[in-house]
Structure 1
Amino acid sequence: MSIQSTIDPYTSRTLFSGVRTRRIFGFCIDVLAILILTALSSLLVFILGIFTLGLGWLLLPILWQCVALAYTAFTLGGPNAATPGMRAMGLEMRLTNGTMPYPLLAAIHALLFWFSMTFLTPLVLLVSLFSDRKRLLHDIILGTVVINSSVERR
């Protein structure tokens, strides 16, 4: 069974069952991973700042954004089409035509999420309650969908 033929939420509801809840828990796992990576890279930037007489410390204010963007771009846009948190919850991201996302799309996906949460408040997450595929606003804009990867493997 190919994912291209089963992307319709009306013919294959199992692809989207439990996606919203799993996605929230996967996000929490990813936030923890990003915090750990940011702490490690902050230590590296601190040491770099000592050797560069303080110039390296100019990276500290934007460090977490860079770490989070790289984390999302290379994991969500990678061969598994999922961040480690999404993989732990059994989720994958696909474009609506069934193809896998690429790193640039994953980075844009993360940026749209951050901007929508910043400017439209967390109420933007209510969009998933009314979406047939349990998609969020930035998923709809980019034409992506999150599915149960366990259903696809069966």
Structure 2
Amino acid sequence: MSPTAPTYRPDVYATGAILDPYPHYRRMRELGPVVWLPRQRAHAVVHHAPCKEVLLADDRFRSERGVALNPVANRLSRGTTLNSDDADHERRRRLLASRLTPKALRSMREEVDRRADAVVEAAVSRGEVDGVGARVGSTSCPGRGRPSTAWARRTRGRSAPHRGPCA
């Protein structure tokens, strides 16, 4: 138990909580700016100002070992902008920034719209949506060409890590 934060005992990863998280968010916020989640053995910062403070205090709250509550996700996201700090984070962020400007994204709009329409049409015809399968099935990234052979070998037959060929 955390000695400094109130404890929130409901499982925020239970199916019901995932399908309707807002009552949980409200109850956590009512308890205070930070709550202890005993099932995850982690603190959750649930008010805006303290959350912003934590995000800006990268000297005390480090990201390089992961930010997820799942060790597999943390391992798979090593080397990404999200899981990096200091000069490494700045370097990665600078590399991505030019690709995420409105101007850069505008050049991909038609291709992204075309692909999104195809995913929706396929889901409607199947009667189900599998966002992970749709992402894994993508063969290239707009403006980036085809994924590397190494990436394709690493992800064949299983869900792709969130840092695939477009990361």
Larger radius of gyration between Structure 1 and Structure 2: 2
TM-score (norm 2): 0.27
Relative to its length, the structure with more helix (as a share) is 1
- Which TM-score applies when normalising by structure 1? 0.28
